[in-house]
Structure formats: structure tokens, C-alpha cells
Amino acid sequence: MAYQSSRRIRTRRHVSISHARQFFTLSRFIKYGFFLLIALIIAVPILFLWYSRDLPKPGQLVTSQHSDATRIYDRHGALLYSVYQDENRTYVTLDKIPKILQESTIAIEDKDFYKNEGFSPIAYLRVAKNYAMGEGLGGGSTITQQLVKNVLLEDSRKVLSRKIKELILAIQVNQAYSKDQILEMYLNNIPYGGTAVGVEAASEQYFGKSAKDLDLGQSAFLAGLPQNPSIYTPFSGNKYYLARTKAVLKQLVSDGYTTQVQSDKSYKEIANYQFSQKDATIKAPHFVMYVKQKLAEQFGEQMVTTGGLQVTTTLDYPIEKKTEDIVKSQIAGLKTTKVTNGAAIVEDPKTGEILAMDGSADYFDQNNDGNFNAAIAQRQPGSSLKPIMYATAFTKGYTPATLLMDVQTNFPTGVAGQPDYSPVNYDGKFHGPVQVRYALANSFNVPAVKMLAKVGITPVMQQAYDMGIENWNPTPQNRASVGLSLVLGGRETTLLGEVTAYGVFANEGIRQDPVTILKVTDSKGKVLYQHDPTPGKRVLSDAVSFLISHILLDNSARVLEFGPNSALVVPGHTVPVKTGTTDEKRDNWTVGYTSSYVVGVWVGNNDNSPMSQKLASGITGAAPIWNAIMSSVLKGKPDEQPKKPDNVVAVQVDGFGGGLPHAGQPTRSEYFIKGTEPTAESPIFQSKDGKNYIVIRENDPVSTDGVNRWQAGIDAWIAQNHGSDELWHPSGDVIRQATGDHSQDPTPTPTPGGDATPTPTPDL
């Protein structure tokens, strides 16, 4: 009992000590918190006084202090566009601005405008949280703060000092003016895109009417612009303004300013409205609007619209002008093929510099959404990205001589209730045994799908993403949305992305991201930004790049599908090139390159409607446009052939099987990366008891039920084309002899994160 009593005493003592420690710890926290509070009480006024010493007076709000034009030049100094060379501004009083436009602005920008003191404490807490998490100082601005930022503060950088100045001025302005006065000044001083400053100028620019006559939909559209006019203007080459207008209307409904029925009707009005922009002073309009958006992202909207920036771009205007002329004239000649639009990009692959960007046949064609920039729009690539898939295969040991069977083949989709996937070729035919060189050069579909199945979808998506196809990032979500049709156009990309990716092949495996701006100075010549050329990032070996390039320049290899004199041939120049056409002919592509230029062309319709079935890839559509542009940029230039790396060797191979020469049959020369070249005859050639046989066997790496659909397709093809030929019908002993002793394909090395299923018995 004494022992238990003693233990209880010790336990109580430990509890008391623990409570005491907790008390002293809490006391320390309270003490430190108290000192921190005192420090803040002292520091904040000092901080405010320090930053208040050189602030402009709120009275300057009545007129903007900015008037210098931002000018955008090409690389040679030719003026492309003056953003504010003719600033359009008409001040109107608040009673001349529709109530619904005022309400739309308040609803989307600052719903507590009439209640707050010029700033939002909750918004500042959110900004502080984002800043602590490394997400920058953006957001959190009230209407008052936006007015201050656009009129009184020259420095638009997102730095702490500017945020503090913005807060101080907002408080002062809120005390000096009524809310109606602040709203009136805001609506008259905020940029709305293009040359429009204030709602009156914006109303005239976009709708050809005075602001007092704006309706609900038009008011919602204008209210959505100030957040980022360079992006939301309908003249940016995109239609981001539709989602923004919908967001404004949704907020108006939520706040009780309008009904859902009225909102839906107004949205349809804006969605169907044809915005018109006629400006004879603008050159390379799609490129200029793209650059203007990039400038706004880097320097802020205010600096772009009124900050007097002097911008030297990468554009080569003579190349741009020639490109525009070619696209416009050739699209006009494609009316019989139901093609209404086209886009083209010319890039220097060594630097990533964009030399030309034409986003449509005619920027000012209002009837066909000419200001829509198709060069940066997501479209189905068709077969145009097959080279990336084969490049991935070459990194895993496959070669241009690897034999694949182009026969009708069923591929399980993996989705219950869905029929097997059965791709066909562009010409509607199947070509039997083909080596990779000819499969890629002629863009045969079944061999491409088979190789994708061997290599794995995830590694191919990763390779494409590494090369610049951003929409192919193999995230779990993206990966779940694609299947074996990926290589035939199963996931969208942009023309700019394709040009970037093909630039990797042109640049011997090194990626250079697109560059559009070389230098930015202020109106006094102070350099604000200077592009620093980079060595780029290696994303593919020079050997693999060479193999792909050599296949794509091989006119004799593609003659079966394109003929000897197609638009893919540029006389006097060695140019690797690839086409692509989607199902139902909704998109048609041609991308080709030398070591100095990458030229990419897309044709189709903005509404994604099908083109005529008469359109033939490589003959009509994008290919002739590409040929004309490439011929133009290469005129007078020396021929540039891809540079063969030292670890690539040429070997004579059997023209049919792809192994070493066999029994006096026709041979050809093929390039191999050292270590992958054949060391024996192709295992398809077998002999037994003095008789010769051809044994072609393929495993089915995507079968989920044990059925070898690949071999079933091969057997059906043999029965149809070589039904009575003993050469093609070996006995079981011969087949076992072939599959047990020889290997044609390398066994793929599983890639981390990949989804290829290596087959234990190599295909023959």
C-alpha cells in the first residue's frame, strides 16, 4: 500500500510539472505575441509614412498621366504596331453610363465596393497567404486600388513596395472622393483593349455606339475586359472573352441584378456578335496581338497600353509578309475543297525565334473570324506527330529496318461494350510486311498503332511533352483520356507546339522554346528586358533525330503514297517533312524543316467542319502552301543536309526482311545507331528439309483475353494474298524453329512510368 501511495504522489508530481511546463510555454507564446503586436503597431505606421513620402496626389486622378505609345517592331526595326499611337478616350459622367454596366463592373471586380474603405482586408489576407506560399502578390485589388494602380502608379511590377503604395493611395482616395466619383473615374480611365481607354471609347470600338446605349450582354462583355484586356479582347486571336462574359453574367444573376433567362439571352447575343477591327496601320496582326499578350503578362496591362514600351521582336517582316500573301492566295484557291482558313509559322530551330506567324487567311475577314489565331489553337494533329512516336521507339532499340505487318488488325479498346479499334490507312489499303522507314515515310496507320502498343502510350506522351507538345503531358487525367488512337490524332495540339517539336529534330535533339521578344526598353531607352539566348535543352539524342530526319527527307521511301513529284519536294534542297490529316478531313497539316528553318502549316475550318473528301494530303491542302513558304525562305540559300552523328552507321540490309542480305535478294542501305544494327539475316527466312519458308509471327502486347489478334490479322492477310503458296505456309516445326532460335525485334526495356508490355517471345 505504501508503494502504491508513493507512486500516486510521484504521478501527481509529474502531472504538476507537466502543467507548469505547459503554462510557462503558453506564457512565452503570449509574451512573444505581445511583443510582435507592439512591433507591428510601431512598424506599420512607420512603413506607411516611409512609402507615403513620394506618393502622387489623389487629385491627379482626374486625368491619366500616361500618354506614351508602346511600339512593337520587327527584328530589323520595322514598325509593326503602335499600341496607343491614336489613344481613344472620351470622358463621360456617371449618369451617361448605364446602370447595368456599373452593376456588372461592381459584380465582377468588387462586389463590396460601396461598403469597403478602398481595400479588402480579407483579400489582403489571401494575398499574404499566396505570397507566403510563393505564389506572388497578384490579385486582391478593389476597384479603388485598380484605379490607383492604372492612373497614379507608374511601377506595375508585382512587388511588396508597390502593393503597400497601392493600399495607402486607395485609402486616401476613398477619403477624398465619394464612391460614385471613384466609380466614374474608374470607368473613364481603365484600359479596355486596343486603343480604347474608358467605357465610352470601348463602346464605340467594339459596338459602334455610345456607352449610354449598351444593353445587358454588351455591358457584361465590357465589364469583363479590364481584368486582362490583352487576353479578353476579341481581337486577341482567341475567344476567351466568351467565358469571361459568362462569368460576369453568372455573377449578375447570383447578386440579383438580372435573371437567368435574361443572362442566357445576353450571352447568346455576344457569342453571335461579329466584332470588326479595321486598322491599316497594323502589320503582322496575329503576331502583334500574341506579343501584346506576352507583354501584358510580363509588364502588366497598364505598362503595355500607356507605358511607352519600345519592343523589338523576333519577327522578320519580309518573311511574314510573304507568308501572309501565300496563305491568303492559296486558301482562296481551295474553296472547291471546302477549306476556309489556314495558318503558318516560320521558326529558327537553333534559337526558337518566331520569324513569321500568320493565324488566318485574313485577319480582317469578319465573316470567317479572321482575327482568331489558328496558329495557337488546339486542333487534332492526325498523323503529323507519328515521328515522335517512332523517335521514342528508336530510343528503345527499334530501328528503321524493324519489320511490321500492315494488315487489318483489331485492337481491344479496354472499355466494356465498345467494339475493337480497327484503324485503316489513308489510301484504304493494307501493304503487308513493311519496314519502319517505309511505314513512317508513307504514314501507314496500322504499323504506327502496333509500334505505339509495343513502346507504350505513356513514354510517347512524355517524349512529345518534352519536345514541346504541352497538351500531351502524361498526367493521370490526360493519360486516362487517350488510347492507341493517340498516334493517329487522338489528342490535340497547336501548330506552335508542332513547330517547336519539329525544331528538336532540326536542331539535332535540342529543344528551344518559342521566342517572340528580343528587347524591351522604356520611352527613355532604359532596358527593361533583354532576351538571353540559351543553349536549349537536350530532349532527344542527335542519333535518333538524324534517323527521323533521314526518313522524312527520303522521297523514294514515300513514293508509294505521295508519288515522286509531290508538294513535299523542294527542288534543290534537302527538306525532311511530314503531313497529317484527321478523320473526316477536319484538319490538314504539313511541317518540314532544315537546320535553319522550321515551317508549319495548318488548313481547315474554324468551326471544325469537314473539308472536302477530294483533299489529298501531300497534294492539296497544307502541303502546297508549305512548299511555297519553304521555297521562299530557302531561295538563294545553300542546301543543308542533316548532319550524321559518329555513332550512326550505314549497313546493307535485305530489302524485304530488314536483316543482313539474304540469298541474293535485293538489298538497300540503312542507317543504324551503333549497337542496333543487324548481325544476322532476318528470322522471317527459314529452311527445313531443303525447302524455304517465310515465317511472320507477331505477339499481341495489348491483348487482355489471351487472343492474339495481331497474328489473326496476319494469317488472314496471308490466306488472302498467298493462299496456295507453300512459301508462306510453314509447318508447326518450322514456326517453332523460327520463334525459338531468332529475334527480330529488340525486347523493349520497360520505362519507369511506362505502360508497354514487353513480350517474352520477340516478334518475327
Helix (H) or strand (E) holding 660: none
Local structure of 694: helix, strand or coil: strand
Confidence class for position 290, pLDDT limits 50, 70, 90 = very high
User: Is 481 or 751 the better-scoring residue by pLDDT?
Assistant: 481
Cα–Cα distance measured from residue 482 to residue 487, given in angstroms and rounded to the nearest whole number: 10
Most confident of 43-47, 156-160, 199-203: 199-203
E strand segments, 465-504: none
User: Is 572 or 58 the better-scoring residue by pLDDT?
Assistant: 572
- pLDDT at res. 613: 87
Q: Return the HEC string of 342-389.
A: EEEEEEECCCCEEEEEECCCCCCCHHHCCCCCHHHCCECCCCCCHHHH
Contacts of 53 (CB under 8 A, 6+ apart): none
Quote the cell numbers at residue 407: 494488315
User: Is 744 or 197 the better-scoring residue by pLDDT?
Assistant: 197
Q: Which has the minimum average pLDDT: 223-237, 316-330, 555-569, 648-662?
A: 223-237
Confidence class for position 83, pLDDT limits 50, 70, 90 = confident
Confidence class for position 458, pLDDT limits 50, 70, 90 = very high
Cell numbers 470567317: residue: 368
| Ramachandran region, residue 403 (left: φ > 0; alpha: ψ -120 to 50; beta: rest) | beta
**Angstrom distances, CA of residue 387 to CA of 193, 675, 695, 702:** 41, 22, 28, 22
Cβ atoms of 464 and 472 within 8 Å: the answer is yes
Statement: residue 209 has pLDDT above 60: yes
Cα–Cα distance measured from residue 418 to residue 137, given in angstroms and rounded to the nearest whole number: 49
Local structure of 179: helix, strand or coil: helix
Cβ atoms of 406 and 425 within 8 Å: the answer is yes
Quote the cell numbers at residue 200: 465610352
What's the CA angle centered on 548, arms 543 and 549, to 5 degrees? 95
Work out the number of other CB atoms within 10 angstroms of the CB of residue 631.
16
Cα–Cα distance measured from residue 430 to residue 432, given in angstroms and rounded to the nearest whole number: 6
Q: Which has the minimum average pLDDT: 188-202, 511-525, 744-758?
A: 744-758
Cβ atoms of 337 and 614 within 8 Å: the answer is yes
Burial class (CB in 10 A: 0-12, 13-18, 19+), 410: middle
User: Is 739 or 18 the better-scoring residue by pLDDT?
Assistant: 739
Q: pLDDT tens-digit profile of 214-268?
A: 999 999 999 999 988 888 988 877 789 999 999 999 999 999 999 999 999 999 9
Cα–Cα distance measured from residue 215 to residue 95, given in angstroms and rounded to the nearest whole number: 15
Cα–Cα distance measured from residue 103 to residue 116, given in angstroms and rounded to the nearest whole number: 16
Helix (H) or strand (E) holding 597: none
Cα 644 to the chain's mean position, in Å?
Answer: 31
Cβ atoms of 62 and 188 within 8 Å: the answer is no
Bridge partner residues of 346 (DSSP): 356, 599
- pLDDT at res. 140: 56
Cβ atoms of 352 and 500 within 8 Å: the answer is yes
Cβ atoms of 604 and 384 within 8 Å: the answer is no
Average pLDDT value for residue range 91-99: 90
Cβ atoms of 582 and 489 within 8 Å: the answer is yes
E strand segments, 217-373: 310-313, 341-348, 353-358
Phi, psi for 653 (deg, rounded to 5) = -125, 160
Q: In this structure, which long-range contacts are made by residues 698-701, counting pairs with CB atoms below 8 Å and at least 24 apart in sequence?
A: 698/405, 698/450, 698/763, 698/764, 699/759, 699/761, 699/762, 699/763, 701/453, 701/454, 701/756, 701/757, 701/758, 701/759
Q: pLDDT tens-digit profile of 435-455?
A: 999 999 999 999 999 999 999
Confidence class for position 745, pLDDT limits 50, 70, 90 = very low
Cell numbers 510486311: residue: 433
Distance between terminal CA atoms of the chain? 87
- pLDDT at res. 377: 95
What is the DSSP track for 394-462?
HHTT--TT-EEEES---B--SSTTPPPB----TTS---EEEEHHHHHHTT-HHHHHHHHHHH-HHHHHH
Bridge partner residues of 341 (DSSP): 604
Cα–Cα distance measured from residue 438 to residue 554, given in angstroms and rounded to the nearest whole number: 9
What's the CA angle centered on 692, arms 690 and 698, to 5 degrees? 140
- pLDDT at res. 22: 57
Average pLDDT score, the chain: 85
Cα–Cα distance measured from residue 459 to residue 593, given in angstroms and rounded to the nearest whole number: 25
- pLDDT at res. 305: 77
- pLDDT at res. 556: 96
- pLDDT at res. 118: 74
User: Is 446 or 368 the better-scoring residue by pLDDT?
Assistant: 446
Helix (H) or strand (E) holding 625: helix 622-634
Cα–Cα distance measured from residue 688 to residue 665, given in angstroms and rounded to the nearest whole number: 19
Burial class (CB in 10 A: 0-12, 13-18, 19+), 396: buried
Cα–Cα distance measured from residue 22 to residue 59, given in angstroms and rounded to the nearest whole number: 56
Q: Quick one: how many helices (H) and strands (E) in the chain?
A: 25, 20
For the chain, the residue count is 764
Cα–Cα distance measured from residue 509 to residue 487, given in angstroms and rounded to the nearest whole number: 20
Confidence class for position 195, pLDDT limits 50, 70, 90 = confident
Q: Which has the minimum average pLDDT: 173-177, 179-183, 437-441, 517-521?
A: 173-177
- pLDDT at res. 569: 97
Q: pLDDT tens-digit profile of 114-155?
A: 988 877 776 555 655 555 555 544 555 888 888 888 777 655
Contacts of 598 (CB under 8 A, 6+ apart): 345, 346, 347, 348, 349, 499, 502, 503, 506, 591, 592
Local structure of 58: helix, strand or coil: helix
Statement: residue 601 has pLDDT above 90: yes
Cα–Cα distance measured from residue 639 to residue 635, given in angstroms and rounded to the nearest whole number: 10
Cβ atoms of 214 and 98 within 8 Å: the answer is yes
User: Is 724 or 314 the better-scoring residue by pLDDT?
Assistant: 314
Cα–Cα distance measured from residue 41 to residue 335, given in angstroms and rounded to the nearest whole number: 73
Average pLDDT value for residue range 174-196: 86
- pLDDT at res. 57: 53
Name which of 51, 107, 304 is nearest 220 in CA terms.
Answer: 107
Cα–Cα distance measured from residue 75 to residue 128, given in angstroms and rounded to the nearest whole number: 41
- pLDDT at res. 169: 81
Tell me the whole-structure pTM to 2 decimals: 0.75
Q: pLDDT tens-digit profile of 395-428?
A: 999 999 999 999 999 998 877 778 888 999 888 8
| Ramachandran region, residue 292 (left: φ > 0; alpha: ψ -120 to 50; beta: rest) | alpha
Q: How many CA atoms lie within 13 A of 726 on its CB side?
A: 4
Q: pLDDT tens-digit profile of 492-502?
A: 999 999 999 99
Cell numbers 501565300: residue: 326
Cβ atoms of 642 and 595 within 8 Å: the answer is yes
Confidence class for position 21, pLDDT limits 50, 70, 90 = low
- pLDDT at res. 402: 97
Task: State which amino acid sits at residue 670.
Answer: E
